[in-house]
Amino acid sequence: MIRAALYLLNILSMTTSCNNSDHALMLRCNLLLGASIIRDYDVIQCQITKILKQISTKKDEDKNYETALNYLIFPQLF
C-alpha cells in the first residue's frame, strides 16, 4: 500500500509543473509516507493533505490524485 502511494506521488510530481519549492513539498510528502509506517496515520494524513494543497500549480486533476492518495493510505476513512 505504501509503495502504491509513493508511485502515485511520483505520478503527481510528473504531471504537475513543479518549481523548486514544489519539489521540496513532494519530498516532504514522500518522507511523511515513510514515517507513516511507524507514526499515527491521522497526523500523517493531515500533514500530507496540507502539503499537497501548498503545491502552487494546482490543476483540477490534482484533486483526483489527492483523493486517490488518501484512499490508498487511509482506506478506513472512506
Q: Please write the tens of the pLDDT for every residue from 5-15.
A: 666 666 665 55
Note the Cα 64 to chain centre separation in Å: 11
Say if residue 77 is exposed, middle or buried (CB neighbours under 10 Å; 0-12, 13-18, 19+): exposed
Question: What cell was used for 51?
Answer: 502539503
Question: What cell was used for 14?
Answer: 510528473
Domain membership of residue 25 as a residue range:
2-77
- pTM for the structure as a whole: 0.33
Asked if residue 22 lies in contact with residue 59, where contact means CB atoms within 8 angstroms, the answer is no
pLDDT per residue as tens digits for the range 41-76: 666 677 677 766 665 455 555 566 666 666 666 655
Tally of domains within the chain:
1
